[in-house]
Amino acid sequence: MKRTDINIPSEVLRRVYETMLRVRKIEERVAELVSKKEIKCPVHLYIGQEAVATGVCANLQRDDYVFSTHRSHGHYIAKGGNIKSLMAELYGKETGCSRGRGGSMHLASPEVGLPGSSAIVAGTIPLAVGAALAFSIQKRNAVSVVFFGDGAVNEGTFYESLNFASLKKLPVIFICENNLYSTHMPISDCLANTDIYKKADIFNMPGIRIDGNGVVEIYKAAKEAVDNARKGGGPILIECMTYRWRGHVGPNDDIDKGLRSQEELDCWMNRCPIKRLEKNLLKDGILSESERIQVYKEIEKEVEDALLFAKESPYPDPNEDKFYNGVFKS
Amino acid sequence: MRKISYVQAINEALHQVIERDKQIFIIGQGVTSPWYVGTTTVGLIDRFGQERIIDTPVSENTVTGAAIGAALAEMRPIVVHPRMDFMYYALDQIANHAATWHYMFGGQLSVPLTIWGIINRGGEQAAQHSQALQAIFTHIPGLKVVMPSNPYDAKGLLVASIKDDNPVVYIDDRWLYEYVGDVPEEIYTVPIGKGVIRRKGKDVTVVAISYMVNEAIKASEVLEKEGLNVEVLDLRSLKPLDENLLLDSVKKTGRLIIADGGWKTCGIGAEISAKIAESNIFKELKAPIIRVSLLDVPAPASSVLEKAYYRKAEDIVSAVRKNLEV
Ligand SMILES: Cc1ncc(C[n+]2csc(CCOP(=O)(O)OP(=O)(O)O)c2C)c(N)n1
Ligand SMILES: [Mg+2]
């Protein structure tokens, strides 16, 4: 695919910056709450990877679909999910986006085009293909995006999905967030060929690798991919090189467990996607220092409001009838 | 006798069998990880190296198929699935391949494979990180299924599974890992297909498996104070099932409660109930059978829902009282 140079409007850059910051602030707060055992469900934090979800989703319409994984907070927020409902879900409350039934790994917000997140590795990859199949049958102009990790590339359904999407020229954007680890295992212990983007080639579809910490680059690549898929140009695999600052699950960093090094983490923290964009926005006069402070304040308040909402919300009713009521649509 | 925990018993069994038999190796996700499979595999990698302690990418179907293939090439693999929920990806290999191979080729071949699935639930992990799938595997002809409830059986049944020439699904439960009990230091086996009476009683039989055995024992202690005499039968093997032990106990008490940590519909309780219904003992039942099992609902996240969802000793106590109308 030919890469064109796209000029990103200032207001888009501002919006992208705010979204990344919102993801970061929520995640940092959630990390504290997990440490304090206020949030009890298993939480996989997205800190460090914010640019990927943000840069991709900034190109999507509300009725485009996004499918997510166990590490779903960033995708949910970037697609426009309500953060009060997110926080309430983490607290296991009835007002949560999944009514307290799913927890952190199972966020959904169908009204903004997020029909679910699966904690089964690679579980949503074929679902995204199926949604795209539906869009093509319906002659809708929508695209289907699936986020998944480098670990998911080890499941057979990943390859089957690429093949089927390419065969039928479906409007699917496969976004692989390569954060170099799958639970406790570095990618080199999992994949015989760690160039994930090259796996597209065998299925006759484009595959590219980009800097997953550069939101502008991600935005541009995603824009091209989305425009192309909307026009019937078929699927693409985009591998975004990034890093999670926290451990696989929970607020710690997994350095204590001997799974990775402080130097590696420091190196990636120096490449913070948010700081990087912020510096450029300040330099280019798109954001002033006082506006920056204002944005921080507003987002911090949003987060505290969401937290208050979650805390004050009621728990689900554990009465047995209520259980059965939820199993089938009536 | 020496006392160790359930998780230590599994670890010890693995160390001893892998050391003794060059055909045995372990393969699956997390066998070198500090948390993935609890501490069941601690020390294995340092002692036996990467050739026999194989941590794998997230490829359940292929890894299970590869273990079956190795079993056809004169190895005796143990394939581990750190959660039963992830075994659905491997179900084709287990059901269509491991389970059929001996029969389908007229007995020429066999698959000496231990398929180890861990139940790991609670802690608001929700529907895809909670499942207890013993009924599914028990349904499939060609698989043996065992579920140890204490440290002694955890070791003895694991060794028996590994020594068996057929595919055996060995299912343990992380809720049991810290339970401590008597475990001999030497290698021994617990026979597959034999249940055991954990507590003798005359008023009512509680057939329990795995985690629910301990809950049944707790329940029987509560009920004893009320003058009720509960017999607790630990099934240990779901297939083959110790029918004689079951029928004898129910014949004696005339009452049956089944406590299982899986879903109710088509669960182990349904099979045991049917066995009784098909036998002569059916007419000697003094009250309807009661199943204590999970609601037919995916596991919820919220802890208030979890609390109502999972079955504990008090649910067995209520079931016994209801059965006895006391
Ligand atoms: C089918 C299945 N196998 C194993 C797991 C356990 N597990 C949860 S996350 C994960 C690693 C996923 O790595 P990756 O896809 O790179 O995503 P990341 O966690 O790095 O975001 C694994 C193996 C699972 N959830 N589902
Ligand atoms: Mg990863």
B59, A156: Cβ pair inside 8 Å? yes
Is the pLDDT at A200 greater than 60? The verdict is yes
Look at residues B182, B217, B233 and tell me which one is the last residue of a structural domain. B182
B60 is catalytic: yes
Residue A233: phi, psi to the nearest 5? -80, -5
CA angle B277, B280, B286 (to 5 degrees): 70
Q: What was the pLDDT predicted at A5?
A: 59
- For residue A30, how far is its CA from the centre of ligand 2 (angstroms)? 20
> Amino acid identity, residue A6?
I
Determine, yes or no, domain membership for B191.
Answer: no
B169, B222: one domain: no
B130, B217: one domain: no
Mean pLDDT of B252-279: 98
Q: Which chain A residues are Cβ-neighbours of B28 within 8 angstroms? A: none
3-state helix, strand, coil in chain B (%, to 5): 40, 20, 40
Determine, yes or no, domain membership for B190.
Answer: no
- For residue B233, how far is its CA from the centre of ligand 2 (angstroms)? 45
User: How many other C-beta atoms are found inside a 10 Å radius of the C-beta of residue B52?
Assistant: 17
Nearest C-alpha of chain B: how many angstroms from A101?
A: 5
Q: Which chain B residues are Cβ-neighbours of A151 within 8 angstroms? A: 57-58
CATH of domain A3-328: 3.40.50.970
Nearest CA owner, ligand 1 atom 5: A121
Nearest alpha-carbon partner for A106 in B302, B60, B91, B132: B302
How far is residue B272's CA from residue A189's CA, in Å, rounded to a whole number? Answer: 45
B171, B303: one domain: no
Q: What was the pLDDT predicted at A272?
A: 98
- The count of C-alpha atoms lying within 13 angstroms of the C-alpha of B241, restricted to the half-sphere facing its C-beta, is 20
- Domain boundaries along the sequence of chain A: 3-328
A119, B305: Cβ pair inside 8 Å? no
What number does the ligand 1 atom closest to the CA of A119 have? Answer: 25
A106, B36: Cβ pair inside 8 Å? no
Q: Which chain B residues are Cβ-neighbours of A320 within 8 angstroms? A: 295, 308
Determine, yes or no, domain membership for B121.
Answer: yes
State the DSSP code for A69: -
How far is residue A60's CA from residue A79's CA, in Å, rounded to a whole number? Answer: 8
Alpha helices in chain A (DSSP H): 10-35, 50-57, 73-78, 83-90, 125-137, 156-167, 215-230, 262-269, 273-283, 289-312, 320-325
Percent of chain A with pLDDT over 70: 98
B119, B204: one domain: no
- Contact (Cβ atoms closer than 8 angstroms) between residue B177 and residue B210: no
A119 lines ligand 1 (CB under 6 A): yes
Mutate to test the pocket of ligand 1, among A47, A72, A121 (most ligand atoms within 8 A of CB): A121
Strands in chain B per DSSP E: 3-5, 24-28, 36-39, 53-55, 76-81, 114-119, 144-146, 168-173, 180-182, 196-199, 204-208, 230-234, 237-239, 256-263, 290-294
CATH code assigned at B42: 3.40.50.970
What number does the ligand 1 atom closest to the CA of A179 have? Answer: 20
Residue A3 pLDDT class (50, 70, 90 cuts): very low
Residue B313 is inside which H or E element, if any? helix B313-324
A324, B57: Cβ pair inside 8 Å? no
The β-bridge relationship of strands B144-146 and B237-239 is antiparallel
How far is residue B145's CA from residue B138's CA, in Å, rounded to a whole number? Answer: 6
B176, B203: one domain: no
Which structure tokens are listed for B62? Answer: 């292929």
Look at residues B182, B205, B236 and tell me which one is the last residue of a structural domain. B182
B307 touches chain A (CB under 8 A): yes
State the DSSP code for B97: I
Q: What is the pLDDT of residues B292-311, one digit of tens each?
A: 999 999 999 999 999 999 99
What is the total count of domains within chain B? 2
Chain centre to alpha carbon of residue A325: 31
How far is residue A154's CA from residue B165's CA, in Å, rounded to a whole number? Answer: 30
B210, B171: one domain: no
Chain centre to alpha carbon of residue B214: 13
Catalytic: which of B15, B19, B51, B60?
Answer: B60
The residue assigned the tokens 């093509």 is A136
Q: Give the three-state DSSP class for A181.
A: strand
Q: Give the three-state DSSP class for B284.
A: helix
How far is residue B266's CA from residue B289's CA, in Å, rounded to a whole number? Answer: 15
CA angle A7, A10, A15 (to 5 degrees): 115
- Contact (Cβ atoms closer than 8 angstroms) between residue A80 and residue A112: yes
Q: Which chain B residues are Cβ-neighbours of A120 within 8 angstroms? A: 85-86, 88-89, 128
Is the pLDDT at B98 greater than 90? The verdict is yes
How far is residue B51's CA from residue B227's CA, in Å, rounded to a whole number? Answer: 57
B140, B223: one domain: no
A70 lines ligand 1 (CB under 6 A): yes
Percent of chain B with pLDDT over 90: 98
Cα separation values, B170 from B181, B228, B239, Å: 19, 34, 11
Is the pLDDT at A2 greater than 80? The verdict is no
Determine, yes or no, domain membership for B187.
Answer: no
Cα separation values, A226 from A168, A188, A219, Å: 17, 30, 10
A184 lines ligand 1 (CB under 6 A): no
Determine, yes or no, domain membership for B9.
Answer: yes
Which structure tokens are listed for A61? Answer: 């319409």
Q: What was the pLDDT predicted at B315?
A: 98
Residue A134: phi, psi to the nearest 5? -60, -45
Angle, in degrees to the nearest 10, between helices A125-137 and A156-167 = 20
B302, A101: Cβ pair inside 8 Å? yes
B143, B246: one domain: no
B151, B115: one domain: yes
Q: What was the pLDDT predicted at B255?
A: 98
Residue B272: give the domain boundaries.
196-325
Determine, yes or no, domain membership for B239.
Answer: yes
B166, B220: one domain: no
Cα nearest neighbour of A321 on chain B: B295
CATH code assigned at B261: 3.40.50.920
B85, B221: one domain: no
How far is residue B309's CA from residue B121's CA, in Å, rounded to a whole number? Answer: 11
How far is residue A162's CA from residue B248's CA, in Å, rounded to a whole number? Answer: 57
Task: Output the CA torsion sign for B179, B184, B188, B189.
Answer: negative
Q: What was the pLDDT predicted at A321?
A: 74
B173, B145: one domain: yes
Is the pLDDT at A168 greater than 60? The verdict is yes
Cα first-last separation, chain B: 40
For residues A62-92, one letter each, b for 16 or more C-beta atoms within 10 angstroms of the residue's C-beta and e for the rest, the string is eebbbbbbbbbbbbbbbbbbbbbbbbbbbbb
Does B167 sit behind a cis peptide bond, omega within 30 degrees of 0 on the bond before it? no
Here the ipTM equals 0.96
How far is residue B20's CA from residue A34's CA, in Å, rounded to a whole number? Answer: 44
Nearest alpha-carbon partner for B132 in B320, B323, B294: B294
Determine, yes or no, domain membership for B152.
Answer: yes
Which structure tokens are listed for A192? Answer: 């015989």
How far is residue A36's CA from residue A34's CA, in Å, rounded to a whole number? Answer: 5
Number of A–B residue contacts, CB under 8 Å: 126
B129 is catalytic: yes
Mean pLDDT of A168-196: 97
Residue A1 pLDDT class (50, 70, 90 cuts): very low
